[in-house]
Structure 1
Amino acid sequence: MGISQIITLVVAILLIGFILWWFFGKHTETVGIANVGQGSQEADIVVKGGYSPSTIVLKQGVPAKVNFDMQDSTACLSHVVFEQLGVDKDLTKQKVTTVDIPTDKKGTYNFACGMDMFHGKVIVK
């Protein structure tokens, strides 16, 4: 076995390990809580290589807005989709894009990028 074959084998094993970690590894999830004041609440999510925080907790019954601060030029992250709410927003049109979230009942609203590769959720408690 030559040196080039050994290098190819090592690179292949490392690549397989990375793919397994990416799809099946346990990744930490960041949780944010909305700022409540003056009869409404707002939460900010930074879009940069994913969503940070990836989970937002809102208070039930208080009108809510979630602001997506676009800091990434990746095509996949150019849209945010709330399928349950029928929302598909283009995040490239402005630096911060706001999505109104209904808070009349408890529940979880999942969101994802346009290609459904990056995910997050809004929890109304």
Structure 2
Amino acid sequence: MTKNNEQIITVDGQYQPNVVEFNQGEVANLTFKRVSDRGCLGAVQSHDLAFSADLPLNEAVTFEIPTDQSGEFEFACGMDMVKGKIVIK
């Protein structure tokens, strides 16, 4: 789901969607909303983009994503088992 350069990821045992795209040079916000306590998805992290946070159940957590360089950047659960990707084009 896209809303004003914001991508929303539903966390429900997996990331839905697990790939999001942003345009290079534009302000970009990525919001995670955990709706289930299934799996190891109580936290999210990205070593590539230097963010990390707990994901409280039924609360939105938003990160501003740097778009100064194009490429593909991974994010994952706290245990690095469930993964997703941010594509900046």
Moved over 3 A (4+): none
More helix by share: 1
For residues 16-64 of structure 1, the C-alpha deviation after alignment (integer angstroms, 9 at most, x for no partner) is: xxxxxxxxxxxxxxxx6x444xxxx110000001000000011111110
Match of 1:115 in 2: 79
Letter in 2 for 1:80: V
Structure with the higher strand share, 1 or 2: 2
In the alignment, structure 1 segments of 5+ residues that lack a partner are 1-31
CA shift for structure 1 position 74: 3.3
- Percent identical pairs in the alignment equals 36
TM-score, length basis structure 2? 0.90
RMSD: 1.7
Structure 1 pair 52–75 and aligned structure 2 pair: CA distance change class (3 A): closer
The total of aligned residue pairs comes to 89
Q: Note the C-alpha offset of 1:108.
A: 1.2
Q: How big is the shift at 1:102?
A: 0.4
Residue in structure 2 matched with residue 89 of structure 1 by the alignment: 53
Q: Which runs of 5+ in 2 are unaligned?
A: none
- Residue in structure 2 matching 1:100, options 58, 61, 64: 64
